[in-house]
Structure 1
Amino acid sequence: MMSPVVTGIFALALFAPGEGIIGGREAAAHSRPYMASIQVAEGDAMKHECGGFVVADRWVMTAVHCMPTGANGRKVVLGVHSLSQAEDTKQTFDILELHNHPHFNADNYDNDIALIKLDRPFNASEAVQAAVFQRAGGANPSADAEVETAGWGSVDNLGSRPDELKEAFIRVLSSARCRRSDYFGRKFTDNMICAHKLCPDPCDGPHKIEDSCDGDSGGPLLYNGVVVGITSNGGKKCGQIKKPGIYTVISHYTQWIDAIMGLQPEA
């Protein structure tokens, strides 16, 4: 097994540190059994910090910028719907290994993909199951395709966090648009998907846009039930028309993923 790869401390640059759900709705309890909550100690309690998703019996995928300097005592909780309630479905794990992609770019969050090895296999149940993720050669969503994301991140720019898992159904924007200078310019790379959803007028709720926001980096972006992206970053404020959420394209990293998880030798 390779030793964990840990990147150094990075500057925030254009992007804000985290992603979550603006708009959207509460997910049905345990309807997304692959979801993971990465938690950090806060006094005697643990606090949700980032998202992730289960990809194998001891492996969780997330984003590098969630833990750029190492696990540092964080834990992974599976089978979660409510962060605060003592649910019988919850399983808590130590992080045995953290593998951050060695070519993560702190300036624009390119290659923002990481793998966590849990200290033991999870117990499969209706509330805890691995997700299917896109591999090389698979079809990624094109512009205007509907995709899904979920997490426990902020519901507004004031940092208000939900207790229950939220989900949003959003749409992919063209890469050409996200490369425009009034969007992300040259910081947007071929390893990224950008997506959000404009709310029809009148909106059902207070938000004009459904988008990702602070606190849910590392969570999944799904297309036709397959995880195609990792929630990476959006703008300095959530829900801005020209700063949609950005997601790492998983299929670009099949060889690296297989090498880390021991499925084939790394080239």
Structure 2
Amino acid sequence: MLGDKTLAATGIFLVGLFSFGEGIIGGREAAAHSRPYMASIQVAEGDGMKHECGGFAVADQWVMTAVHCLPTGANGRKVVLGVHSLSQAEDTKQTFEILELHNHPQYNPDNYDNDIALIKLDRPFNASESVKSVGFLRAGGIDPGTDAEVETAGWGSLDNLGSRPDMLQEALIRVVSSTRCRRSDYFGRKFTANMICAHKLCPEPCNQPHKMEDSCDGDSGGPLLYNGVVVGITSNGGKKCGQIKKPGIYTIVSHYSEWVDGVMGLGPDA
């Protein structure tokens, strides 16, 4: 019996060992500051701040994220831009208070439908090579189809054991058909027309124990990009990280152009 417990503990250690540094489930560490739009939404923990969710800058005073990251308000959370390492001092980092939080009014916590939110920072960021906004797909744009290669990034869990990276991770994944994601053995009726799902099986030989690339817990609110443009927000991905029949779910950003423009005060020609 003792031998079984020792073996199990060793297995847990090895999974953590091989997963560490490889990023989002099956991903890899991003080049430092190669994704200057990335935001870390942080919550107070003891005397410091702890990464809780991702986001991405879409204008000099606005960050887009997921409602389920801040469902009841900012509550003292802060937004940090220019981050690569969460723990190390970096002169690129800019920290902001949340001046306004706009959660989509039709957000449904039961299935994460309409999981999109906008944060207005307490001041515009100082643009640099490490801090920039990113474009997002608007209404009328063409979303990636089945099997299209898309990218995601974040500081979320490296595995289902909850180990977290210090450095920003990224993964190249593939869109799964909406028909498949609506199947009862995938997400069933919880999967709506406002969602896209994606993951990627590791090519063989796969050096990852989980054999998947996927977003995971803590990646929520981060971007899904297609040809360098944000097309989705990490939403319900990460419930069962790296599982074949539970790919990451992302909110389709182009469905919310009118709401985004209204919140940010953009005109019809934006």
| More helix, by proportion | 2
Match of 1:165 among 153, 165, 168: 168
**Counterpart AA for 1:111:** N
Residue 112 (str. 1) matches residue 111 (str. 2): no
1:138-177 deviation line (CA, Å, top 9, x unaligned): 1100000000000000000010000000000000000000
Residue 153 (str. 1) matches residue 156 (str. 2): yes
Partners of 2:164 and 2:204 in 1: CA distance? 26
**Counterpart AA for 1:223:** Y
**Counterpart AA for 2:175:** V
Partners of 1:141 and 1:113 in 2: CA distance? 19
Residue 85 (str. 1) matches residue 88 (str. 2): yes
Partners of 1:162 and 1:206 in 2: CA distance? 17
Q: Is the 2:154–2:222 contact (alpha carbons within 8 Å) kept by the matching residues of 1?
A: yes
Residues paired across the two proteins, number: 246
Which residue of structure 2 aligns with residue 189 of structure 1? 192
Ranges of 4+ aligned residues in structure 1 off by more than 6 Å: none
Any unmatched runs of 5+ in structure 2? 1-22
**Counterpart AA for 1:37:** S
Match of 2:266 among 239, 258, 263: 263
Residue 35 (str. 1) matches residue 15 (str. 2): no
1:46-90 deviation line (CA, Å, top 9, x unaligned): 000000000001000000000000000000000000000000000
Partners of 2:216 and 2:238 in 1: CA distance? 8
**Root-mean-square deviation over aligned CA pairs:** 1.1
Matched position secondary structure for 2:235: strand
Match of 1:141 among 132, 140, 144: 144
**Counterpart AA for 2:132:** Q
Q: Is the 2:217–2:238 contact (alpha carbons within 8 Å) kept by the matching residues of 1?
A: no
Matched position secondary structure for 2:158: coil
Residue 53 (str. 1) matches residue 51 (str. 2): no
Matched position secondary structure for 1:256: helix
Partners of 1:29 and 1:236 in 2: CA distance? 27
Which structure would you say has the larger Rg? Answer: 2
Shift of residue 206, structure 1, vs aligned partner: 2.4
Partners of 1:207 and 1:89 in 2: CA distance? 34
Which residue of structure 1 aligns with residue 17 of structure 2? none
Which residue of structure 2 aligns with residue 5 of structure 1? none
Partners of 1:133 and 1:235 in 2: CA distance? 22
Matched position secondary structure for 2:125: coil
Shift of residue 257, structure 1, vs aligned partner: 0.1
**Counterpart AA for 2:215:** S
Correspondences of 1:228-267 after superposition (within 5 Å): 228-234=231-237, 236-264=239-267
**Counterpart AA for 2:104:** H
Shift of residue 204, structure 1, vs aligned partner: 2.6
Which residue of structure 2 aligns with residue 203 of structure 1? 206
Partners of 2:249 and 2:218 in 1: CA distance? 14
Shift of residue 235, structure 1, vs aligned partner: 5.6
**Counterpart AA for 2:248:** G
Which residue of structure 1 aligns with residue 12 of structure 2? none
Partners of 1:21 and 1:181 in 2: CA distance? 26
Which residue of structure 2 aligns with residue 101 of structure 1? 104
Instruction: Sort the Cα spacing of 1:36 and 1:235 in 2 relative to 1 into closer, same or farther, 3 A.
Output: closer
Shift of residue 237, structure 1, vs aligned partner: 2.0
Q: Is the 2:220–2:237 contact (alpha carbons within 8 Å) kept by the matching residues of 1?
A: no
